[in-house]
Amino acid sequence: MRVVGLDLSITATGIAGIAGVTYTVQTRLKGDHRLLAIRKAVADLTADCDLAAIEDLPTHAHGAGVTGMVHGVVRELLLARGVPYVLITPAGVKKYATGKGSCGKPEMAVAAFKRAGVEFGDDNQCDAWWLRAMTLDHLGQPVVTVPESHRVALKPVAWPVLIGE
């Protein structure tokens, strides 16, 4: 299964590609034109994916905000291509990575280094990598081993039903 992880942000979108390589999308563009640059980068890096794992908006930000616009643009792209996606809460991905849903960014990076020996250019890449890892674990293709106490974070996610599953 070819899975990408997406940590969407108007200033620095983190992407973990289907091979696990991470990227950060930053642009010098201003205003809503940044949406076009993010959409293009996501389009290029999701061209051959089967499933995208997106870090969901925090509960308090569901109704508004610039990050919501980024989510709209990326979700539209995935829908137009017929690529299913799953939304994973920030607390859920943190719980999967570290066992604690309220951990900070440094703890997630340390967990990735300890469990997989990987390092990232920034925390956006780290989040995207963990989103991809969590999704692959759900699909029975884990890229890292985490304790069962971490894997409980898989249960509340509304995973899409995929063809052939």
Ordered by start, the domain boundaries in the chain are 3-154
Can you tell me the mean pLDDT for 33-37? 92
Q: What pLDDT is recorded for position 67?
A: 83
Q: What pLDDT is recorded for position 8?
A: 94
Supply the pTM of this predicted model.
Answer: 0.88
Pick the CATH number of 3-154 from 2.60.40.1580, 3.30.300.10, 3.30.420.10, 3.40.640.10: 3.30.420.10
Confidence of residue 31 (pLDDT cuts 50, 70, 90): confident
Q: What pLDDT is recorded for position 162?
A: 87
Confidence of residue 153 (pLDDT cuts 50, 70, 90): very high
Q: Output the DSSP codes for the chain.
A: --EEEEE--SS-EEEE-TTS-EEEE--S--TTHHHHHHHHHHHHHTTT-SEEEEEPPPGGGTTSSHHHHHHHHHHHHHHHHT--EEEE-HHHHHHHHHS-TT--HHHHHHHHHHHH----SSHHHHHHHHHHHHHHHHTT--SS---HHHHGGGTTS-PPPPTT-
Would the pLDDT of 6 be above 70?
yes
Would the pLDDT of 62 be above 70?
no
Cβ neighbors of 100 (< 8 A, separation 6 or more) are: 94, 107
- How much is the mean pLDDT over the chain? 93
Q: What pLDDT is recorded for position 32?
A: 84
